[in-house]
Amino acid sequence: MIALLLLLGAGDPPDLTIDDAIAARAGGPVAARSSDEEFLRRVTLDLAGTIPTPDEVRAFVAKPDRRALVDRLLAAPAYARRMEELFTVILLERRGGSTVPDAEWRAWLRSRFAEDAPWDAVVRDMLSADGRDPATRPATKFFLDGRTDPHQMTRDVGRLFLGRDLLCAQCHDHPHIKDWKQSEYMGLYAYLGQSKPHKDAKTTLLMEAPLTKKVEFSSVFRPDAKKETAPVVRGRPPVELPEKPEWAVAPVRNGLPGVPKLRLRERLAHDLATAEHPQFVRTTVNRVWFTLMGRGLVHPLDMDHPKNPPSHPELLDALSRRFAAGGLRLKGLVREIVLSEAYQRSSRLPGSNVAPESYRVALPRPLLAEQLARSLMAAADVRPAPGSGKFNLKDYLNGKGAPPTAEQDLLELFAAVFGNAPGEPETEFSPSTTHALFLMNDRLVLAWLKPLAERGPSVEEIYLRVLSRRPSDVERREADAFLAKHPKGAADLAWALVASAEFRLNH
Question: Domain residues for 197?
Answer: 80-272
Q: Answer yes or no: is 316 within a domain.
A: no
Q: What confidence score (pLDDT) does residue 2 get?
A: 36
Task: Let me know: does 166 contact 188? Beta carbons within 8 Å.
Answer: yes
Q: Is residue 401 part of a domain?
A: yes
Q: Are strands 222-229 and 247-249 parallel, antiparallel or unpaired?
A: unpaired
Task: Say how far apart CA 194 and CA 258 lie, in whole Å.
Answer: 12
What is the per-residue pLDDT for 103?
96
279-319 pLDDT tens trace: 999 999 999 999 999 999 999 999 999 999 999 999 999 99
What average pLDDT does the structure give for the chain? 94
Instruction: State the pLDDT at residue 14.
Output: 61
Q: Is this structure's pTM higher than 0.85?
A: yes
pLDDT reading at 210 higher than 80 = yes
377 and 260, same domain (yes or no): no
pLDDT digits (tens, 9 = 90+) for 435-456: 988 998 999 999 999 888 788 8
Q: Where are the alpha helices (DSSP H) in 134-263?
A: 141-144, 150-162, 182-192
Structural contact between residues 138 and 414, judged by C-beta atoms closer than 8 angstroms: no
What average pLDDT score do residues 321-338 get? 98
Q: Is residue 457 part of a domain?
A: yes
Q: Is residue 88 part of a domain?
A: yes
Query: What pLDDT digit, counting tens, does each position of 249-289 carry?
Result: 999 877 788 999 999 999 999 999 999 999 999 999 999 99
Mean per-residue pLDDT for 466-489? 95
- Total domains in the chain come to 2
Last residue of a domain, one of 272, 295, 311: 272
Instruction: Please say if the pLDDT value at position 215 is more than 90.
Output: yes
Are 242 and 100 in the same domain? Answer: yes
Helix or strand holding residue 338 (H, E): helix 330-338
- pLDDT band of 416, cuts 50, 70, 90: very high
pLDDT digits (tens, 9 = 90+) for 1-21: 434 433 444 455 568 999 999
Confidence grade of residue 353 (pLDDT, cut at 50, 70, 90)? confident
Would residue 352 count as lying in a domain?
A: no
Mean pLDDT over residues 407-426, rounded?
A: 96
Q: Omega of the bond prior to 300 within 30 degrees of 0, cis?
A: yes
| Last-in-domain residue among 226, 242, 272 | 272
Cβ atoms of 385 and 60 closer than 8 Å: no
Residue 114: strand pairing partners: none
Q: How far apart are CA 166 and CA 381, in angstroms?
A: 46
- Domain assignment present for residue 341? The answer is no
CA distances from 499 to 44, 434, 494 (A): 20, 12, 9
